Amino acid sequence: MATSLTQDLTTPNGARYTQPLGLFINNEWRAAKSGSTIQVISPSTEEEIACVQAAGVEDIDDAVKAARQALRGPWSELSGTERGALMWKLADIAEKHMEAMAVIDTWNNGKRLSSARGDVEELAGVLKYYAGFADKIHGKVINPSAQKLAYTLKEPIGVCGQIIPWNYPLGMAAWKLGPALAAGCTVVLKPSENTPLSILYFANLIKEAGFPPGVINITNGLGSVAGAALASHTDVNKVAFTGSTATGREIMKLAAINLKSVTLETGGKSPLVVFEDADFEQAVNWSHYGIMANQGQICTATSRILVQQSIYDKFVTAFVERVKSVSKVGDPFADDTFQGPQVSKSQYERVLSYIEKGKQEGATVSLGGKPYRSPQGKGFFIEPTVFTNVTDEMTIYREEIFGPCVVISPFEDEVIHRVNNTTYGLGAAIFTQDITRAHAVAKKIEAGMVWINSSNDSDYRIPFGGYKESGIGSELGEEGLAAYTTNKAIHVNMGSRL
């Protein structure tokens, strides 16, 4: 009996569509050679949505071979202008399918529908942004002497393995696909086993846009199997990974087998500093958004709030009220919901274990601190949680929770040491109306990104990356292209004789 590679589904809000279930290799849908599948669960209901094929080592090898063939063949024959046109066409098609992909992500991921629509907008925006670079990647001419001419070529780095997380399935795919395609690379992309559905739907749009076979291959599977096979494959030239710091370390070890290039965007425990002269209302509002958006499942979430002692009590009161009034937990399809469920049972249990650890170590729960029970009594929902009376040595202050949990701590005058006293260095935020202080503090913070008077309003035109254990390299912006090109120097003898 043949394995079905599609399934007709009806979403919780009544939308009907056909869900691809297979592996997208060489512009074809395939079953996994091992017959392995992954059960995809709705975090809102804890019920199965579908079972998708799970790539094994042989499937990854097939995808890499397809990508290599495309790199040497039809894709390399296209000009940058032609590549950019295909990327722009894909972005246009994605916009036409916005509602379908947003609904799928809300069902599969648990994020509210309005946020999921924003992710599709970002997907299209990133593709268009990098489409504009596709015909502008070039080298330089160098004249070292009258007898010598040299010039450089910027060439695609090759076949790229891209491993994306579950918190922004479509957005993270775009962050990786955009610069790779613009540079002329080919891709084997592995989505998270928790959230493969929207990316599989997107695969059909790739074929519709007219991309040659093998340029983009999508191989859903377990990280320990498909992800490891991709990171260690000796015919993959580069690996780009977004996820936990612990997994990032393993990716580096596997990539070292053939010294492939690595870009890592990993964990964070980002601080947000509120000085006494800040615009108080805006500091409260942005602080709330910086940690509670997307169920707290953001690598740059400003989960450590440090408030100057003179306004600390006032800030805590206002922040708690803000959370109460805005962070409504519930059905992610409902218009008035701010916070949906955590993405999976394991993530739900992980967040709750950190909450219990905070209580055990003596922190005060000023709000939340418990599971949230939906009217149906199911789903991986957690109350937004605010901890006070927190010391810098506590686990909840030092480790990434990746959920709707924040710690608020006062400071007197010196705060830079506390801000930087962490193994992470992804993001940070500062709230002050003193422009001199703002820039001076921003310069001293050891983080790849610093927001002044906002938090987590990232933009794909601005580079994104971290210090320390928060990653290696940058994504987005013009800098994001560098990871997908390699320089070749051509030396021309203009008459020098031996």
Residues noted as catalytic? 265
Closest CA to 243 of 352, 344, 169: 169
The residues, ordered by sequence, that sit 6+ positions from 363 with a Cβ below 8 Å of its Cβ are: 387, 388, 389, 390, 394, 396, 407
- C-alpha R_g of the chain: 24
Three-state secondary structure of the chain: CCCCCEEEEECCCCCEEEEECCEEECCEEECCCCCCEEEEECCCCCCEEEEEECCCHHHHHHHHHHHHHHHHCHHHHCCHHHHHHHHHHHHHHHHHCHHHHHHHHHHHHCCCHHHHHHHHHHHHHHHHHHHCCCCCCCCCEEEEECCEEEEEEEEECCEEEEECCCCCHHHHHHHHHHHHHHHCCEEEEECCCCCCHHHHHHHHHHHHHCCCCCCEEECCCCHHHHHHHHHHCCCCCEEEEECCHHHHHHHHHHHHHHCCEEEEECCCCCEEEECCCCCHHHHHHHHHHHHHHHHHCCCCCCCEEEEEHHHHHHHHHHHHHHHHHHCCECCCCCCCCCECCCCCHHHHHHHHHHHHHHHHCCCEEEECCCECCCCCCCCCCECCEEEECCCCCCHHHHCCCCCCEEEEEEECCCCHHHHHCCCEECEEEEECCCHHHHHHHHHHCCCCEEEECCCCCCCCCCCEECEECCEECEECCCHHHHCCEEEEEEEEECCCCC
Q: Residue 31, Cβ neighbours under 10 Å: how many?
A: 17
